[in-house]
Amino acid sequence: MPDVVFFGSPEFAVPSLLALAHDPRFHVALVVTQPDRPAGRGRRLLPPPVKVAALERNLPVWQPATLRSPETEERLLALTPDLFVVVAYGEILRRRVLAIPRHGALNAHPSLLPEFRGASPIPAAILTGRDETGVSLIQLEARLDAGPIVAQQVVPLGGRETAGGLSERLAAVAAEMLPATAASWCAGEIVATLQHEAAASFTQRLDKQDGLLDWRSAANSLERRIRAMTPWPGAWTTLGGQRVIIEQAMLGGELLGVPPGGIATDAGHVLVRCGASSLELLRVRPAGRGSMAAAAWLRGLQAGGSHRFDALVGPALA
């Protein structure tokens, strides 16, 4: 029975941890996750979801500040692990650490590598209008997401996914793939395939500015950005200097005589003029308020006159 050290932190990693922990072919010797972080308005320390899931199942948990210290290497060496499994841990493992387990390290990445290496592959698949994405299990090496491919599974996209919903779906796919693939890998039954470097593309970590909507862009690009930025960092614009998060929208029809960012109503539908065509807003979250139907939000605005979103300059859209 291989001894596995699992590295992971966010909710995305939890199904993979549980799949390995519940599989009798493996012994999860240790769960390594990020330290508790302050969150929310009260800045209260919150544990990573992986820590919560591990403790609920009486799995040993370790939260080092970094994996770069000699003490870290000594502790991992002392376990004499057979395999590392890394799923969205939050720190790149160095070569010295990757050399510790007998069968190396497997990593689950939510894209069809070599496409969309890096920190935000799920939003990238939505932003670029892909009709499929997937999960790649790779042999981890020191270069970012560049290791040989051990297994891949394609996941079709329907064009309505949000980043949050797609993340849950891909997390489930990774969890389904991992146990059987890891068992075959440890048994020497899989030969990994080198990635095609010329086809590699890269993504960056998102920040709040990535959610800014440029109403001069085409409606289909804006609709994809809204889905790609939901739930975080949120797709947003401003009205009268106040931020409004657009939570859900769909493509609208032609909207003539209204400038980009201009808001109009048509039979109860809330439409925003874009660079081409319009978007119909379905749900919004104004500053300091909860999520609400766009029609109810518009009715609550000051009566009289026209309304126009005034954040017109956003990041480049795919």
pLDDT tens track for 202-245: 999 999 999 999 999 999 999 999 999 999 999 999 998 889 99
What is the residue whose two structure tokens read 């614009």?
237
Tokens (6 digits) for 186 = 């440890």
Q: What is the pTM of this model?
A: 0.93
At 272-295, the pLDDT tens digits run 999 889 999 999 999 889 999 999
Average of pLDDT values for 14-19?
98
- Rounded Cα–Cα distance for residues 200 and 202 (Å): 7
**What are the strands, taking DSSP E only, across 77-148?**
83-87, 105-109, 117-118, 132-139
Whether the pLDDT of residue 42 is over 80: the answer is: no
pLDDT at 315: 45
Whether the pLDDT of residue 268 is over 90: the answer is: no
At 103-152, the pLDDT tens digits run 999 999 999 999 999 999 999 999 999 999 999 999 999 889 999 999 99
Going by C-alpha positions, the residue among 215, 185, 165 that lies closest to residue 85 is 185
For 9-142, where are the alpha helices, taking DSSP H only? 14-21, 49-56, 70-78, 95-98, 121-127
Going by C-alpha positions, the residue among 224, 273, 275, 265 that lies closest to residue 248 is 224
Query: How many other CB atoms are found less than 10 A from the CB of residue 157?
Result: 16
Do residues 23 and 93 touch, judged by C-beta distance below 8 A?
no
- Rounded Cα–Cα distance for residues 139 and 108 (Å): 9
Do residues 82 and 186 touch, judged by C-beta distance below 8 A?
yes
